[in-house]
Amino acid sequence: MLVGLAAGGSFYEECDATWEPQNCWAYDDGNRLSLALVSSSSGSMIRSKRQFVYGTVSTMIQLVPGDSAGTVTTYYTSSLGDNHDEIDFEFLGNVSGQPYTIHTNVYAAGVGNKEMQFKPWFDPTADYHNYTISWTPCMIVWYIDGVPIRVFRNYAATHGVAFPTSQPMYAYSSIWAAEDWATQGGRVKADWSKAPFVASYHGIDLDVCECYSGGCVSTCAAAFAGGSCSSLSDAQVGKMQWVQSSYRIYDYCADPKRLVNGQKPVECDLPQY
């Protein structure tokens, strides 16, 4: 059963293959897509044709089944350049029978270090599941099957916390090898006898404010003011708290290695929903 289908345009209409296009193929009139990792240097990537500032990007993914150690499948948004903005979903593979790690992060002006990781409460290889990134002027929300798993609020003006606000982004999906760190800290490598490793996609939905230069940023910000920038409902907060208490395995705010002069990053002590 498909859960929360992303009812948008086809991959033919919305995306271009920007890396190793021979390892990417669309079918079912462009409504389905597969990305393959065939060697340590040959994966694949697609990128949306549209750039945008603010909006919601959503797709259904069935992750690589079986032994996926050393592989990373991604769904994220990013601007261009060294000082880029980025909002990440990364799915770190594992050996057969062990769960994936769902890795989230946000970059502003090229600086990230805001990782939060989860174990899935479902089998992400058995069927398609919906992964959604919502980016508004007031907050970023990561959703799985409509359940918010994380919020990152905009405290740039009030507390100086960097937040992506001014660089148009693209939406991306990719699969690539990261044997040096992806699985159990790099201790487990990919079994290339099992290649190709294939991630499958169904549907893509970009409900975004198209923007191709800095001149449209204020227009997009105004379009997402008010109701489009509201907080989560009490029910959504309850679901997110359940996910974070039961399935979160890493939070940069709780990592003693991230302390600066004995202090957590300032946003860690501020409300996030």
- Catalytic residue annotation: 86, 90
Could you check whether the bond before residue 271 is cis, i.e. omega within 30 degrees of 0? no
Which amino acid belongs to residue 75?
A: Y
Residue 61, strand partner residues? 129, 201
What Cα–Cα distance (Å) separates residue 239 from each residue in 143, 147, 253? 11, 7, 20
> Of 190, 187, 178, 174, which Cα lies nearest the Cα of 68?
190
* N-to-C CA span, the chain: 31
- 8 Å CB contact between 117 and 104: yes
